[in-house]
């Protein structure tokens, strides 16, 4: 190098540094390993794309029907007037239950084999029915002058069934809050 820190002007006249010949084989092996890894990843993704995920409703036809029915049910239960006498309020809560059961019945019209192929569907529908039964029990207690406390049914692990319902139907239908708080639906007590 000269005093200014630059290499000599005719640097190309020097021989190239020695290169270990094994690098050629290492680079070829690394390239092949990368191709194998990418091919495996593509195969795994393709295989998983055709599988039913056990905890989530993911069949395209079931999702389409359930979304449509859920949207109708949600707009119905959230749009019901909740004012008037206590008897009118109880009637509105009963009508909300009918809207939920109508949704469940319409989704159950999907072929049983198709529903069974998407594992959580029937359990998810049973949870909706369980929620309606709990609400009907609540309405019966209130009509008799009993306890006005509403409790969401529990799953076997002790968590509210609505957690399981929202997880299974995360891309389909969330449980409307108005169904979980019948005592204060619409901001008024029954």
Assigned domain for 151 exists = yes
Task: Examine the domain organization and report whether 94 and 149 are in the same domain.
Answer: yes
Residues 178 and 139 in one domain: yes
pLDDT at 127: 96
Asked whether residue 162 falls in the same domain as residue 90, the answer is: yes
3 found inside a domain = no
Domain count, the chain: 2
Task: Tell me which residue has tokens 């939920």.
Answer: 100
- What's the whole-model pTM score? 0.70
35 and 125 together in one domain: no
The per-residue pLDDT for range 146-162, each reduced to its tens digit, is: 877 889 999 999 999 99
pLDDT confidence tier of residue 128, bands split at 50, 70 and 90? very high
| Residues 6+ positions from 78 with CB-CB distance below 8 Å | 176, 178
Are 31 and 113 in a shared domain?
no
Domain presence at residue 155: yes
Backbone angles phi, psi at 160, to 5 degrees: -60, 140
- 3-55 pLDDT tens trace: 566 666 666 677 777 777 788 888 889 999 999 999 998 888 777 665 656 67
Q: Do residues 85 and 147 both lie within one domain?
A: yes
Least confident of 10-14, 164-168, 177-181: 10-14
In a domain, 170, yes or no: yes
Residue 2 is assigned to a structural domain of this protein: no
Residues 99 and 135 placed together within one structural domain of the fold: yes
CB-based contacts of 160, cutoff 8 Å, min separation 6: 152, 153, 154
**Same domain assignment for residues 123 and 154:** yes
What is the DSSP code (8-state) at residue 160? B
Quick one: pLDDT at residue 130?
Answer: 96
Containing domain of residue 44, as a range?
11-49
Highest average pLDDT, of 39-43, 129-133, 136-140, comes from 129-133
């Amino acid at each position: 190098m000269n005093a200014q820190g630059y290499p000599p002007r005719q640097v190309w006249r020097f021989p190239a540094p020695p290169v270990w010949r094994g690098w050629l084989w290492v680079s070829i092996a690394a390239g092949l390993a990368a191709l194998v890894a990418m091919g495996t990843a593509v195969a795994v993704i393709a295989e998983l794309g055709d599988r039913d995920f056990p905890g989530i409703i993911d069949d395209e036809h079931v999702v389409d029907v359930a979304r449509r029915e859920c949207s109708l049910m949600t707009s119905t239960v959230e749009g019901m007037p909740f004012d008037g006498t206590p008897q009118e309020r109880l009637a509105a809560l009963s009508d909300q239950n009918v809207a939920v059961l109508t949704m469940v019945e319409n989704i159950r019209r999907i072929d049983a084999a198709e529903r069974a192929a998407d594992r959580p569907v029937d359990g998810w529908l049973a949870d909706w029915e369980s929620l309606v039964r709990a609400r009907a029990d609540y309405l019966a207690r209130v009509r008799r002058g009993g306890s006005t406390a509403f409790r969401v049914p529990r799953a076997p692990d002790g968590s509210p069934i609505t957690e399981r319902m929202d997880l299974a139907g995360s891309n389909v239908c969330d449980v409307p809050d108005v169904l979980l708080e019948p005592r204060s639906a619409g901001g008024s007590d029954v």
